[in-house]
Chain A
């Protein structure tokens, strides 16, 4: 399954967030916006942690697995490693 811009509709107005992506979704990180989502972390801390795990602009991501309750957390392929992260933190990752 590849990214389908038509399927995801108004990508110009409403960016695609990793936190909303379903299993099989592939994309490229466009920006980290730590003010999105509802993480309990301070925005700077959240942003730092995501970068430290390889979520930087241009990184290729793919949602590999979803948890059973609320499809959360998700296991994401970031370039060549796999990271487990909750959706509320993944909301800060804007894709294209």
Chain B
């Protein structure tokens, strides 16, 4: 039919959480959407185009996983609306691919029967067929297809060619498809209807699927240790501790290489370019500024590596289980654990991930505290100050003292997040009834080298892109502010003393002086509102310009000579709390749908930052560190 050829064939991926929908989406469209081994990874709809072997253009939409069309949480509502064609301006899917984890068919089959009742054209995809075969699960596909009354295909989303059959059948289906009817038969099912569907699903499984005599035991054996009430928590704490130690110890050699390279580059520019504005711009603005941030790439890769490995293994849902009651004490929902742990990488995906929390209050509390978790953008700030002020010695024989301080800062973030949440619960929502925690614990899977590699590659390029755009443009601004106006001829003071930066810095100095911050820090904090790393780069530039001839010196050494220990500690305390990230605030605005909550976050974090720095500075001075 020519009308079908003229617009793309609309295909939607629907299925229970963690059945491999996004893996299929990536395999078919060549995208790199986030895949991980826990329920609730995808929280948005994502569309991609591809062409089938038969030459048909297909528009594929990946949707959040769901157990039913009831739409209990924001992510599940998206799925329902797309399937039913309720979203205006959205094409109604021509074919819904119901994706099942072949090792775990019960819940998907019930969903499948519910989907069938909507009247949408359907195809059942038995994904993860490799695992099912390995475990000795056999499915009579013909019989199944006859009983369900829909085409059934098997697929292995993560293997090359694993979607061939799916593509072939899609082509066949599309060739004879008629335009989808926009009719909407769906209404929420009553509990007796749900039961009836589950019975029917169980009957079909008994008829068409033969399960292995011996159940899969590896996951059970691992869980005996990992989910042990005491050993499990010890393992969780050790994992986090190892992560923060690794950020410090493993990255060091590579970081030294990178910073050495930038120093050499700076020296080269100084030696080979005529002295003047251009030389200063390249050396102080670009190399000292952007370079001082790029040095932290290895650490950011390590933290992402840890989180990606835990996600792919299937550990995250377990951690949520272990932490549920403990977090409940602070007024948080167990499911908040995964978003909060993701926030160690970056608060933005963390805040997005809160969509899986169905209770509005639980979700809002989690959004409010997510920015307190130590994101990777704080790593440059922390590392810079720690390396300048904390000696790199071993304590207790094997623990790196700098790593220990880092761990302390992460702990400070966690503790303050839990405290804020407990206070919110106490003052605002005292009548709060804990929302239920119900979560499927998926079988462990060995992380796939390729997917971890791609995950890291994506994060690393994002970081580099930020360095090239946000950070670079801020650096140009700071270099400009710190260089103009030029000093009058014959002036003996450093040039920067005549600059706009100095004027601005001195203007805000009175506010920041009680915290032990000098005017250079003030100048760095303002552009640092865009992103935290910018503060480091800004300090690099400001001190490089001020330093004049010794500019090639490392920024850390400069700080160690210019700041007191009390100032350094106070700045660390500041960065634990301060909302220095415009993108996070924007995401809070979007996800809460209100400027009000964004404002609340901004103000409470600034207040905490100011108070924490004030206390830290004064206590440190009292102990003689001023």
Asked whether, in the complex, the Cβ of B194 is within 8 Å of the Cβ of A41, the reply is: no
Residue B534 interfacial (CB < 8 Å): no
**Chain A residues in 8 Å Cβ range of B195:** 51, 56-57
Cα separation A83 to B433 with both chains bound (whole Å): 22
Query: What would be 30 A-B contacts, judged by CB atoms less than 8 Å apart?
Result: A40-B435, A48-B68, A48-B191, A49-B436, A52-B68, A52-B194, A53-B438, A54-B106, A64-B223, A64-B227, A65-B223, A65-B228, A67-B229, A67-B324, A69-B329, A72-B325, A73-B325, A73-B334, A75-B227, A80-B103, A80-B106, A80-B211, A80-B215, A81-B104, A81-B106, A81-B440, A83-B440, A84-B324, A86-B434, A88-B434
Asked whether, in the complex, the Cβ of A40 is within 8 Å of the Cβ of B325, the reply is: no
With CB as the reference atom, state the residue of chain B lying closest to A73: B324
Cα separation A79 to B209 with both chains bound (whole Å): 14
For B412-441 the 0/1 string (1 means CB < 8 A from A) is 000000000000000000000111111111
**Chain A residues in 8 Å Cβ range of B317:** 84
For B186-218 the 0/1 string (1 means CB < 8 A from A) is 000101001100110010000000010001100
Quick one: given A40-B436, A64-B223, A80-B211, are A53 and B441 in contact (CB under 8 Å)? no
Residue B326 interfacial (CB < 8 Å): yes
For B426-458 the 0/1 string (1 means CB < 8 A from A) is 000000011111111100000000000000000
Asked whether, in the complex, the Cβ of B68 is within 8 Å of the Cβ of A44, the reply is: no
Q: How many residues of A contact B (CB 8 A)?
A: 37
Residue B321 interfacial (CB < 8 Å): yes
For B326-354 the 0/1 string (1 means CB < 8 A from A) is 10010000100000000000000000000
Residue A21 interfacial (CB < 8 Å): no
Asked whether, in the complex, the Cβ of B103 is within 8 Å of the Cβ of A52, the reply is: no
Asked whether, in the complex, the Cβ of A66 is within 8 Å of the Cβ of B229, the reply is: yes
**Chain B residues in 8 Å Cβ range of A75:** 223, 227, 321, 441
Residue B602 interfacial (CB < 8 Å): no
For B279-308 the 0/1 string (1 means CB < 8 A from A) is 000000000000000000000000000000
Asked whether, in the complex, the Cβ of B436 is within 8 Å of the Cβ of A41, the reply is: yes
- B residues with a Cβ closer than 8 A to A are 67-68, 70, 72, 103-104, 106-107, 110, 189, 191, 194-195, 198-199, 202, 211, 215-216, 219-220, 223, 227-230, 232-233, 317, 320-322, 324-326, 329, 334, 433-441
Cα separation A82 to B68 with both chains bound (whole Å): 18
User: Which of B215, B220, B439 lies in contact with A84, CB distance below 8 A?
Assistant: B439
Residue A96 interfacial (CB < 8 Å): no
**Chain B residues in 8 Å Cβ range of A54:** 106-107, 198
Q: From residue 42 to 96 of chain A, which have CB atoms closer than 8 A to chain B?
A: 44, 46-49, 51-54, 56-58, 64-73, 75, 79-86, 88-89
Closest Cβ–Cβ distance, residue A60 to chain B (whole Å): 11
Asked whether, in the complex, the Cβ of A70 is within 8 Å of the Cβ of B325, the reply is: yes
Cα separation A67 to B437 with both chains bound (whole Å): 13
Asked whether, in the complex, the Cβ of A80 is within 8 Å of the Cβ of B441, the reply is: no
Quick one: given A66-B229, A68-B230, are A84 and B320 in contact (CB under 8 Å)? yes
Residue A30 interfacial (CB < 8 Å): no
**Chain B residues in 8 Å Cβ range of A89:** 436-438
**Chain A residues in 8 Å Cβ range of B103:** 80
Cα separation A21 to B67 with both chains bound (whole Å): 26
Asked whether, in the complex, the Cβ of B107 is within 8 Å of the Cβ of A52, the reply is: yes
Asked whether, in the complex, the Cβ of A73 is within 8 Å of the Cβ of B437, the reply is: yes
Closest Cβ–Cβ distance, residue B224 to chain A (whole Å): 8
Cα separation A66 to B329 with both chains bound (whole Å): 17
Among B103, B233, B436, max chain A CB count under 10 A is at B436
With CB as the reference atom, state the residue of chain A lying closest to B197: A51
**Chain A residues in 8 Å Cβ range of B326:** 68-69
Cα separation A89 to B439 with both chains bound (whole Å): 12
Closest Cβ–Cβ distance, residue B387 to chain A (whole Å): 37
Asked whether, in the complex, the Cβ of B198 is within 8 Å of the Cβ of A56, the reply is: yes
Cα separation A65 to B232 with both chains bound (whole Å): 11
Cα separation A75 to B440 with both chains bound (whole Å): 9
With CB as the reference atom, state the residue of chain A lying closest to B436: A89
Quick one: given A40-B433, A53-B67, are A67 and B106 in contact (CB under 8 Å)? no
Closest Cβ–Cβ distance, residue A83 to chain B (whole Å): 6
Cα separation A47 to B106 with both chains bound (whole Å): 17
Cα separation A39 to B189 with both chains bound (whole Å): 21
Closest Cβ–Cβ distance, residue B32 to chain A (whole Å): 29
User: Which of B189, B325, B435 lies in contact with A67, CB distance below 8 A?
Assistant: B325
**Chain B residues in 8 Å Cβ range of A72:** 324-325
Cα separation A91 to B438 with both chains bound (whole Å): 13
**Chain A residues in 8 Å Cβ range of B440:** 53, 81-84
**Chain A residues in 8 Å Cβ range of B107:** 52-54, 81
Cα separation A57 to B110 with both chains bound (whole Å): 15
Cα separation A80 to B219 with both chains bound (whole Å): 12
Cα separation A81 to B438 with both chains bound (whole Å): 13
Quick one: given A54-B107, A75-B223, are A84 and B191 in contact (CB under 8 Å)? no
With CB as the reference atom, state the residue of chain A lying closest to B106: A54
Asked whether, in the complex, the Cβ of A84 is within 8 Å of the Cβ of B438, the reply is: yes
Among B198, B317, B433, max chain A CB count under 10 A is at B198
Closest Cβ–Cβ distance, residue A81 to chain B (whole Å): 5
User: Which of B223, B434, B439 lies in contact with A40, CB distance below 8 A?
Assistant: B434
Cα separation A66 to B227 with both chains bound (whole Å): 8
With CB as the reference atom, state the residue of chain A lying closest to B101: A81
Among A46, A51, A58, A64, max chain B CB count under 10 A is at A51
Closest Cβ–Cβ distance, residue B67 to chain A (whole Å): 4
**Chain A residues in 8 Å Cβ range of B435:** 40-41
